């Protein structure tokens, strides 16, 4: 078996030189899915995984724009259309200086499995730019978004490819992108999700990824007879996912001790309560400030510069910042300090070595493609509402989100059972694969 997996990975690597993040995502899937393919005749001999690692289409484009000093800037735009077997391409746009082909291909590949797990009819895609919105004025962000959409609009559409937000792309950016698309196409359609509620957006969409990861984490805890009530929770990040994950942990009776940004993390041993969280939301979303400022407002808290929060003892860890933010040493530290459960809010925040430690130590560990699927799931619900030309209530969307997270948890339990331990990584990879593979087989070699 090892040999078959290695041969497969060698072949993929040959074709995708210098794409470490993409290879990392493919390796994890291959290790779980290839043994499953070998055991199941319908998939064997179809080169199904080899087809799945090749994007259906990749678009690269120039994004020129003019800054506030009247200087001409150039960034690079991308859209990876990975797989459309079960629905139109669906996935976010990331604006961050670390964006490159490897990062977006890993995200697009993960998205295919994630979207399949949501049970909604969405294929997988991802896009973005190496543009850094940090420190840019609203007008600069608008000019950049308009230029980006002036090319992207040719490749997307409500039945073709539906982008949304990701790191660096929130409500403000979706607004500018939507405005430009509408102008160019002279059409008001649900071509993007994460829209404002008054112009086609869904209630609960901003909260969905954060709420979803906490619903999933609660399910994992319930499965071993406990809950989040009274648990100490260490969270990383302070963007959209982390903010709403913190809100839901507080609502469910857990204690949020940390949040972070690229400057470091804050530790509040008394717990970040609703009032303190409101301060952080205003600081991050309106003032666009740094998390460090929290200790000026709440001086009993600590700020640890240039560090991640995994050294703080906790029961539950929820990494919500970015890929590869939690390493082997962090995993060992969490385990040593008594952490029993890790729910990934970001995409691939744990390195393979960290995941290995969680698995051999039988920690409850949910990979992002399962536990952070709530965001794209509510995007799917936004698409449904746009097609209906109707809006569901907050409760209606939240109930559907809860049910979807519970169904994903159930699929992971079904496919990830290993002598009483649920391997959620294996469960998510196989359950996500089966639906896409069956559709691909039914549709022939296309």
Q: Which residue ranges make up the site for ligand GLU (CB under 6 A)?
A: 90-92, 114, 164, 166, 193, 347, 375-376, 379
- Our CB check for ligand GLU shows the closer of 116 and 257 to be 116
Q: How far is the CB of 375 from ligand GLU (least distance, A)?
A: 4
CB of 344 to ligand GLU, least distance (A): 11
Distance separating the N- and C-terminal Cα atoms of the chain: 28
Name which of 201 and 254 has its Cβ closer to ligand GLU: 201
The C-alpha atoms of residue 320 and residue 125 are separated, in whole angstroms, by: 21
Query: Can you name the residues that pair with 318 across neighbouring β-strands?
Result: 235
Least Cα distance to 124 among 426, 433, 358 occurs for: 433
C-alpha distances in Å from residue 322, one per residue of 168, 174, 286, 400: 12, 20, 22, 27
Residue nearest to ligand GLU (CB): 92
Q: Give the active site residue among 126, 231, 284, 369.
A: 126
* C-alpha 114: how far from chain center: 9
161-164: strand order across its sheet: 57-66, 72-83, 124-129, 89-95, 161-164
Shortest distance in whole angstroms from residue 16 CB to ligand GLU: 21
Tell me which residue has tokens 């490159």.
100
Give min distance, CB of 432 to ligand GLU, in A. Answer: 13
Least separation in angstroms between residue 229's CB and ligand GLU is 28
Pick the closer one to ligand GLU by CB: 166 or 325: 166
Nearer of residues 90 and 105 to ligand GLU, judged by Cβ:
90
- The nearer residue to ligand GLU, 264 or 375, going by C-beta atoms, is 375
Cβ-based neighbour number of residue 356 at 10 Å:
13
* Complex with ligand GLU: residue 202 or 257, whichever CB lies closer: 202
**C-beta closer to ligand GLU: residue 12 or 104:** 104
- Least separation in angstroms between CB 360 and ligand GLU: 28
In whole angstroms, the minimum distance from the beta carbon of 90 to ligand GLU comes to 5
The answer to whether 255 touches 232, Cβ cutoff 8 Å, is yes
Please, which residue, 80 or 334, has the CB nearer to ligand GLU? 80
Output the smallest distance, CB 412 to ligand GLU, in A.
17
Residue 164 or 425: the one with the smaller Cβ distance to ligand GLU is 164
* Burial grade of 14 (CB within 10 A; 0-12, 13-18, 19 or more): exposed
Minimum distance of ligand GLU from residue 376's CB (angstroms): 4
10 Å CB burial of residue 347 (0-12, 13-18, 19+) is buried
Active site residue 276: no
Residue 191 burial (CB count, 10 A) = 26
Point out the residues that are catalytic: 126
């Amino acid at each position: 078996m090892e040999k078959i997996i290695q041969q497969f990975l060698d072949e993929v690597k040959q074709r995708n030189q210098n794409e470490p993040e993409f290879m990392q995502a493919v390796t994890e899937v291959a290790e779980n899915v290839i043994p499953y393919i070998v055991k199941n005749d319908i998939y064997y001999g179809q080169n199904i995984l080899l087809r799945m690692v090749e994007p259906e289409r990749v678009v690269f484009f120039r994004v020129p724009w003019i800054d506030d000093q009247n200087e001409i800037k150039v960034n690079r735009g991308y859209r990876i259309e990975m797989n459309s077997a079960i629905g139109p391409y669906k996935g976010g746009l990331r604006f961050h200086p670390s964006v490159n082909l490897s990062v977006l291909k890993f995200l697009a590949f993960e998205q295919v499995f994630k979207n399949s797990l949501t049970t909604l009819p969405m294929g997988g895609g991802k896009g973005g730019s190496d543009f850094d919105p940090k420190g840019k004025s609203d007008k600069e962000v608008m000019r950049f978004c308009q230029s980006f959409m002036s090319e992207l609009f040719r490749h997307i559409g409500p039945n073709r490819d539906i982008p949304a937000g990701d790191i660096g792309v929130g409500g403000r950016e979706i607004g500018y992108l939507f405005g430009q698309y509408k102008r160019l196409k002279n059409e008001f359609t649900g071509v993007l999700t994460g829209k404002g509620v008054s112009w086609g957006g869904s209630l609960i969409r901003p909260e969905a990824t954060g709420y979803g990861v906490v619903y999933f984490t609660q399910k994992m805890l319930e499965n071993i007879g406990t809950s989040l009530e009274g648990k100490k929770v260490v969270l990383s990040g302070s963007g959209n996912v982390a903010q709403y994950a913190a809100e839901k942990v507080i609502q469910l009776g857990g204690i949020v001790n940390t949040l972070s940004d690229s400057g470091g993390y804050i530790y509040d041993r008394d717990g970040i309560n609703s009032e303190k969280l409101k301060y952080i939301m205003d600081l991050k979303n309106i003032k666009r400030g740094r998390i460090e400022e929290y200790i000026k407002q709440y001086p009993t808290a600590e700020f640890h510069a240039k560090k991640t929060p995994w050294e703080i003892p906790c029961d539950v860890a929820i990494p919500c910042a970015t890929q590869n933010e939690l390493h082997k040493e962090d995993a060992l530290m969490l385990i040593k300090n008594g952490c029993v459960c890790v729910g990934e809010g970001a995409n691939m925040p744990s390195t393979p070595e960290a995941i290995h430690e969680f698995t051999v130590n039988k920690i409850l560990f949910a990979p992002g493609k399962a536990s952070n699927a709530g965001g794209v799931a509510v995007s799917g619900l936004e698409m449904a509402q746009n097609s209906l030309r109707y809006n569901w209530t907050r409760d209606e969307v939240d109930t559907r989100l809860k049910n979807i997270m519970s169904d994903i948890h159930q699929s992971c339990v079904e496919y990830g059972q290993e002598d009483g331990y649920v391997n959620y990584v294996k469960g998510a990879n196989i359950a996500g694969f089966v639906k896409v593979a069956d559709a691909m087989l039914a549709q022939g070699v296309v």
